[in-house]
Amino acid sequence: MAQCTAPRNGHRTASGAENCPACSSRYGRGYSSNSYSNYSSPYSSSSNSYGSSGGSSGKSRTKARWSSVGSSVLYTTEEIRTLTPVRENVEKRSDKPDLRDVFLCHAWDDRKESAKELHDILESKGVSVWFSEKDVLLGSSLLREIDKGLVKSRVGIVLVTPLFLKRIKGEGIADKELSALLARDLLIPIVHNTTYDELREVSPLLGSRSGLSTIEDSMEEIASKLAELVAPETILN
Residues 148 and 135: beta-carbon distance below 8 Å: no
Bridge partners (DSSP) listed for residue 213: 191
Rg (C-alpha) for the chain, rounded Å, is 27
Q: Which among 179, 185, 169 is positioned nearest to 107, based on CA atoms?
A: 169
Q: Please write the tens of the pLDDT for every residue from 132-144.
A: 778 777 777 766 7
Residues 234 and 226: beta-carbon distance below 8 Å: no
Q: Please write the tens of the pLDDT for every residue from 11-60.
A: 444 444 556 665 554 444 443 434 333 433 333 333 333 233 333 355 79
Residues 64 and 83: beta-carbon distance below 8 Å: yes
Examine the pLDDT at 107 and tell me if it is beyond 50: yes
Q: Region 83-89: what's the mean pLDDT?
A: 91
